[in-house]
Amino acid sequence: MATPLLEARDISKRFGRLQALHHVSIALPRGQTLALVGDNGAGKSTLIKILAGVHQPDSGEIWFEHRRVHLGSPTQARRLGIETVYQDLALVESMSIARNFFLGAEPARRVGPVSVLDTAKMHRTAESYLREIGITSLTTAEKEIRLLSGGERQAISIARAMYFGAKVMILDEPTSQLSIKEARKVLDYIRDVTARGLSTIFITHNLSHVYPVADVIVVLYHGRKVGEFLKGTADPSVIESLIVKGDTEPADRAGGN
Amino acid sequence: MFHRRRELGAVIAIAVTYSVFTYLNRAFLTWATFGGILTIAAEIGTITIGEGVLMVSGEFDLSVGSNFTFSAIVLGMLLKAAVPAALSVITVLGMAGLIGLLNGLITVRTRIPSFITTLGTLFFWNGMALWVTGGWPISFIAPLPVLNVLGNSTPSPASSLHVSAAWWAVAAVIFWIMLEKTRYGNWVYGTGGKTEAARAIGVPVDRVKLINFTICGLLAGLAGALQLGRMMSISPVRSGLELEAIASAVVGGVSLFGGIGTVLGMILGTIALASIEVGLVAAGAPSFWYTAFVGCVIIVIVVINTQLDRLIFTWRS
């Protein structure tokens, strides 16, 4: 395996009496996709929120590009190039694609004494990135987000992260509210951006979405890492058993242990 | 870009108003009447721009009517005390902006709804206006130059159009540019459209709200100065203009829930309500009809806007 771009070493995190993560380590190689799977409450969200700078771990280290880093806030993480796409928190429905794409980082040019939005550049850039990511249903960046499908929204978030120079993209349940067809498209986008050198971590409940794109699969169970598999070495029934029970003992013998 | 034209309701309202009142009275369709409409619209419309911009960022200011009155009174008192005109106007605008900022600080710091904050300051500044005047209006017999510049002068002696409309136009251009053409404008839409998303992506949403509260206060004060200039008199009695300003903004397509609205819509909404007011007077209807009528218009327009929105949503391909 190549040297990892982003690495979490021995991370523990406790919320009150709940041990959300217990000595978990993951390593994301450059240009690869890591899928984080596990049941509800397994600790997936806590782990990615630590990598996104939302939570700070109680113990453990985070390494990024061969350096130990401290991710004190989402802004700090973003500045390093770690971008998180939250499904429900990414876009403003009442605004156009172009205005969303650049929200908080709008390009401007000076006209006399005032600094004026460079709307032409906003539209041009947003449209070219949407084309590049392979989304054909949108030809204009003028459209309001509320008129778009869930898959199109994901595509815009991913394109935006690409444009702003993300090195690592973390996707929180990117396919959970999508139709089968749309989920497939979003998986294509993920494969696409990793082919361009981006590294991605994504969380999902749906194992059938994992196998086509993940290079590494990490299984969490009650805050512990119970399995790690490279592409092609994973036996679906083993992973399923790990997710549900945290071990690979067949169900009929599990009671005897 | 049909789905972005939420000003349509106001355009329909203006068209219907003009058709009906011209049918009732031919004199309605004249430049003189239109000048009168613009004169009435100028003061409410200046408040509406501030209120509308604030509404786009997801907040309300119910105290604009009280701020309007209190600012006009303070301006009148300063001028009567022979304070230099420019200094008086600047002081009053600064004070009005601070009144707005205070609303913002209370709202943002305590996280209580601005509806409540500004309901409180509505009463507070109304009380202050009554206290400093003892309940009596402030009037000027002879027009001062500054009052002429603010609102009293007209392009020709008999004209119903006052210079206050020009100040309204200046404010409209400034805030149209701000909302549509600047980075800050994009932040305003983001803040009102989905506060948490805007915050997560790095928009300083609290600062946006504070600035918009300040703008709203400042424009309410400016409107007070314009009316003092035009009428040369101001009464400390409650004006009720806050509801007219919100109504104008809503008729112009500004969303009550934030994130949606344009300065063009705010202008058209104000003109729609002002033309109804002038039309009813021209038709000889008692003035209370206006109040009742405005209520109906608001409901009808918001229903039209909502239905249009649903239609567009089902049409999307």
Q: Which CATH number do you get for residue A57?
A: 3.40.50.300
pLDDT score for B316: 53
pLDDT score for A234: 79
Burial-class residue A105 by CB neighbours within 10 Å (0-12, 13-18, 19+).
middle
Q: Judge if ipTM > 0.95.
A: no
DSSP string covering A181-226 = HHHHHHHHHHHHHHHTT-EEEEEES-GGGTTTT-SEEEEEETTEEE
pLDDT score for A2: 60
DSSP state of A2: P
Quick one: closest CA in B to A148, which residue? B316
Q: Does B292 touch chain A (CB under 8 A)?
A: no
pLDDT band per the 50, 70, 90 thresholds, residue B2:
very low
Q: What are the backbone angles phi and psi of residue A212, rounded to the nearest 5°?
A: -70, -25
pLDDT at residue A257 is higher than 80? no
pLDDT score for B300: 86
Quick one: closest CA in B to A79, which residue? B202
pLDDT at residue B14 is higher than 90? yes
pLDDT band per the 50, 70, 90 thresholds, residue A255:
very low
For A54, the domain range is 4-254
Query: What confidence tens digit (pLDDT) does each residue in A188-241 have?
Result: 888 888 888 899 999 987 888 888 889 999 999 999 999 999 988 878 888 888
Q: Does B316 touch chain A (CB under 8 A)?
A: yes
| Closest by CA position to A205, among listed A248, A230, A176 | A176
Question: What is the total count of domains within chain A?
Answer: 1
Query: What confidence tens digit (pLDDT) does each residue in A130-187 have?
Result: 888 877 788 889 999 988 888 888 889 888 888 888 899 999 888 887 888 888 888 8
Q: Hey, are the CB atoms on B193 and A106 less than 8 Å from each other?
A: no
pLDDT score for A253: 46
User: B160 versus B48: which is more confidently predicted?
Assistant: B48
Interface test with B, best of A79, A82, A94 (most B CBs within 10 A): A94
Q: Classify the C-alpha dihedral B69-B75-B81-B82 as positive or negative.
A: negative
Distance (Å) from the alpha carbon of A252 to chain B's nearest alpha carbon: 47
Task: Determine contact, residues A222/A191, Cβ cutoff 8 Å.
Answer: no
pLDDT score for A108: 92
Restricting to B residues 82-101, those with a Cβ less than 8 Å away from any Cβ of A are none
* Helix (H), strand (E) at residue B254: none
pLDDT band per the 50, 70, 90 thresholds, residue B254:
very high
pLDDT score for B315: 64
pLDDT at residue A119 is higher than 90? yes
The mean pLDDT value for B245-249 works out to 94
Of A78, A90, A92, the CB nearest to B193: A92
pLDDT score for B101: 98
Query: What confidence tens digit (pLDDT) does each residue in A59-94 have?
Result: 999 999 999 999 988 888 988 999 888 767 679 999
pLDDT at residue B195 is higher than 80? yes
Restricting to B residues 224-283, those with a Cβ less than 8 Å away from any Cβ of A are 255, 259-260
Lowest mean pLDDT among A169-178, B75-84, B132-141: A169-178
Q: Taking all residues of chain B, what is their mean pLDDT, rounded to a whole number?
A: 92
What's the CA gap between A198 and A200, in Å, rounded?
Answer: 6
pLDDT at residue B3 is higher than 50? no
Contact list in A for residue B187 (CB cut-off 8 A) is 103-104
Q: Does B196 touch chain A (CB under 8 A)?
A: yes
pLDDT score for A256: 39
For chain B, list the domains and their CATH numbers. 2-315 (1.10.3470)
Residues of A with CB under 8 A from a CB of B: 74-75, 78, 86, 89-95, 99, 102-106, 108, 114-117, 119, 142, 144, 146-147
User: A250 versus A9: which is more confidently predicted?
Assistant: A9
pLDDT band per the 50, 70, 90 thresholds, residue B33:
very high
pLDDT at residue B313 is higher than 80? no
Contact list in B for residue A78 (CB cut-off 8 A) is 202
pLDDT band per the 50, 70, 90 thresholds, residue B15:
very high
pLDDT score for A250: 58
Distances (CA, A) of A201 to A88, A160, B23, B160: 17, 16, 68, 67
What the block records as the tokens of B242 is 């806050």
What the block records as the tokens of A83 is 């971008």
DSSP string covering B62-95 = TTHHHHHHHHHHHHHHHHHTT--HHHHHHHHHHH
